[in-house]
Amino acid sequence: MKTLITFFLSAVLGLAGLQAQTGELPLRKGDRITVSVGGIPDNEIQQIRGVYTVSDDGTIPLLYIGNVRAVGLKPSALQRSIEQNYIGQEIYTRPTVVVSIDGGESTATMRTVMITGVNKPGAVPYKQSMTLSQAIMTAGGPTPFGSMKKVKLIRAGRAATLHNLSSGAGDPNVDVQVQPDDQIIVPE
């Protein structure tokens, strides 16, 4: 029984780690995404392929199937949803869809990291794999009175975690990767 429980927990944790490694973020209103499609007639590829902006109601409009819910889905989940819609409505038999987040700066809800206690306080653009120290340096570094010994990270409104970046910059256990909407406080 112990072996079965250990196996089950290992499998679940392994899948959770795999999901975290993909780096996909859920889509939000205002995000610009690129939709590419194959496995359908060439003249219709041109009508579907393009850059779409997730609307205020959380959808994108697609040829023949109308509005498809995008907000809250990761790009890979939206791909499957679009494919299933086209197949389920018997429009195409084997469409292949690729969805990617457009890297343009014109997204209505640019994902940011808020930073205080630095030379240029405010929001800095979120970049995948950005660490605490990189985010702080993007914001001009700590003020002359800023202490890198007790950097506070507030994630999802939860209690702050403290990080000593004075000696741990580059150490992934201390200099953790930031996520969109994190708040970083460099105390004085």
| pLDDT score at 34 | 87
The per-residue pLDDT for range 86-134, each reduced to its tens digit, is 999 999 998 888 888 875 443 433 466 777 888 888 888 878 788 888 8
> How many folded domains does the chain comprise?
2
Tell me, yes or no, whether 152 lies in a domain.
Answer: yes
- Residues 95/40, Cβ–Cβ less than 8 Å: yes
Last residue of a domain, one of 82, 101, 120: 101
**pLDDT of 63 over the 90 cut:** yes
Domain span at residue 175 reads 112-185
- Residues 131/177, Cβ–Cβ less than 8 Å: yes
The per-residue pLDDT for range 136-172, each reduced to its tens digit, is 888 888 888 888 899 999 887 787 888 888 876 677 7
Residues 165 and 129 in one domain: yes
Residues 45 and 93 in one domain: yes
Mean pLDDT of 24-46: 86
CATH number of the domain that residue 180 is part of: 3.10.560.10
Residues 121 and 167 in one domain: yes
CA–CA distance, 38 with 151 (Å, rounded to integer): 48
Last residue of a domain, one of 80, 101, 122: 101
Tell me, yes or no, whether 131 lies in a domain.
Answer: yes
Q: Is the pTM of this model over 0.75?
A: no
Tell me, yes or no, whether 18 lies in a domain.
Answer: no
